[in-house]
Amino acid sequence: MKPVHEYRFGYDRAYLRELSRLAGPIILQGLAAAVFNVVGTIMIGQKGETAIAAVGLAGQMFFLLTLAVFGIASGSAIFTAQLWGKRDTHNIHRVLGLTLALALLAGGFFFLLAELFPAQVMGLYSMDPAVVKLGSAYLRIYGFSFLFFAVTVSYSTVLRSVGNVRIPMVISTAALALNTLLSWCLIFGHLGLPAMGVTGAAVAIMISRALECTGILAATYLTRSPVAAPLNELLDFNRAFASKVLKPVLPVVLNEVLWSLGITAYNAIYAHIGTESFAAVNMLSTIENLAWAFMNGISLSTAVMVGHRIGRGEEEQAHHTAGLSLGMAGSLGVVLGGVALLGGDSILALFKVSPIVIAYAHRLLTIFGLILWVRAMNATIVLGVLRAGGDTRYSLFLDGIIIWIVGVPLAALGVFVFHLPVYWVYLLAMTEEVTKWCLGMRRYLSRKWIHNLAHTLQHTPLT
């Protein structure tokens, strides 16, 4: 490998080849998820604003679960990516076993909440009795998918960390397609199936996630992937091993929990403004998901590349790769923001909602398009750089604390003190992203985020 000083910033063919190999399938998977999500939201939208709000608010519980499980899995992937740089498959299996145990614990907790206290959960977000009733019925069925989801994410994340991005893409895309077909059938009563409305969408999700979990396990073990751990190695972790893994992982989990609670607080604030305002925010999220397919592709691929380099002891190359990815994310954010500004209204026009909801969503979209490049770079800093380097405590501060000391207080002031419309409240919330960008870029330039964690597991005794 040539010395770092011989690289030209922004033009590195080896980097671009590796990025495209890793990011391509992740982006395709994300785009498929976003497109199918748009289709699903449009189908739910045919049932009216109450249905959109009920499903969106019921989804907040799954959002919390998603980020808790993602925190566990992505925190563990710090180790598995660096361990794969050393080709240490045994310790990868041990980390995977611990990841599964923690993810299933989180999945079980949210499952019990969804089954035993759905109305209380919905009541945290909305005071509209119709929204609470419809969302509770949806949540009781939806909750059965949580345990399957925990297993799927654990295996998929570790597969990506060793460079195998195709298996998660294929299985996930197939599951999304099946979910969309089943939703169409069960919401509206096509192909001889009963018309169940909103609850039909929940049944479709439950079935598709169960099959997705089965598929990811079958593909992992039938292809004899490096992640295909035998049961004895999955269970081969003791207190000393768990302590070493959890020390950097727990800040990631706390980061995701605090950040997700912050996003939930934002949604509760938006919902307090009114059902029309929250419906507009939920419509914007379908367009955000399209953009984040690209952003996640860059950030998650960066985490793999940076982690592998740190595991091999190539710290200068890791820093250089991170810089290239930050430039790529910012540039792509500018382009995608422009696309959202020019073409987003075409998607908004597909929803059968009142003109005031469309007007709110249009103004939210304008703010989103202008700030996207900052958010794209922040995602790469947090997910692709700081976490890959094991700098999880600073990542916790940047991503999990800033939202509570900047974004949420300003958004709350906008609603409860100044009584601003939803689009101005959204703009106030985006001050969090600007603050995060300033601090995150300073941390990247300092190089203090680079930590080789793989060697800490090398001498941990087996159980």
Question: What's the pLDDT score for residue 318?
Answer: 93
Question: What's the pLDDT score for residue 9?
Answer: 45
Three-state DSSP at 187 gives helix
Task: Enter the tokens of residue 124.
Answer: 């945290």
What is the rounded CA–CA span in Å between residue 303 and residue 390?
A: 10
User: Average pLDDT, stretch 451-458?
Assistant: 74
Three-state DSSP at 451 gives coil
What is the rounded CA–CA span in Å between residue 113 and residue 412?
A: 27
Three-state DSSP at 11 gives strand
User: Average pLDDT, stretch 255-263?
Assistant: 86
103, pLDDT greater than 80 = yes
What is the rounded CA–CA span in Å between residue 180 and residue 35?
A: 10
- 350 vs 213: which has the higher pLDDT: 213
203, pLDDT greater than 90 = yes
11, pLDDT greater than 70 = no
pLDDT digits (tens, 9 = 90+) for 431-449: 999 999 999 999 999 999 9
Question: What's the pLDDT score for residue 414?
Answer: 95
Question: What's the pLDDT score for residue 389?
Answer: 92
State the chain's maximal CA–CA distance in angstroms: 65
- Contact (CB, 8 A) for 158 and 80: yes
Question: What's the pLDDT score for residue 322?
Answer: 95
388, pLDDT greater than 80 = yes
Confidence of residue 256 (pLDDT cuts 50, 70, 90): confident
Sequence letter at residue 97: G
Question: What's the pLDDT score for residue 460?
Answer: 55
Q: Which of 37, 46, 23, 103 is CA-nearest to residue 70?
A: 103
Task: Enter the tokens of residue 443.
Answer: 């941390």
Question: What's the pLDDT score for residue 241?
Answer: 82
Cα dihedral 400, 381, 387, 251 in deg (nearest 10): -10
User: Average pLDDT, stretch 118-122?
Assistant: 86
174, pLDDT greater than 50 = yes
Confidence of residue 1 (pLDDT cuts 50, 70, 90): very low
Q: Which of 312, 244, 318, 240 is CA-nearest to residue 88?
A: 312
What is the rounded CA–CA span in Å between residue 84 and residue 81?
A: 5
Q: What is the DSSP string of 350-384?
A: TS---HHHHHHHHHHHHHHHHHHHHHHHHHIIIII
- Judged by average pLDDT, the poorest of 27-41, 188-202, 250-264, 294-308 is 27-41
Strand partners, 8: 11
456, pLDDT greater than 90 = no
Cα dihedral 238, 241, 247, 250 in deg (nearest 10): -50
391 phi/psi in degrees, rounded to 5: -90, 60
- Judged by average pLDDT, the poorest of 39-48, 124-133, 267-276, 450-459 is 450-459
pLDDT digits (tens, 9 = 90+) for 208-240: 999 999 999 999 999 889 999 888 888 887 788
Confidence of residue 47 (pLDDT cuts 50, 70, 90): confident
Question: What's the pLDDT score for residue 2?
Answer: 45
284, pLDDT greater than 60 = yes
User: Average pLDDT, stretch 88-97?
Assistant: 89
125, pLDDT greater than 90 = no
Question: What's the pLDDT score for residue 7?
Answer: 41
- 40 vs 214: which has the higher pLDDT: 214
Beta carbons within 10 angstroms of residue 358's beta carbon:
17
Three-state DSSP at 228 gives coil
Question: What's the pLDDT score for residue 5?
Answer: 43
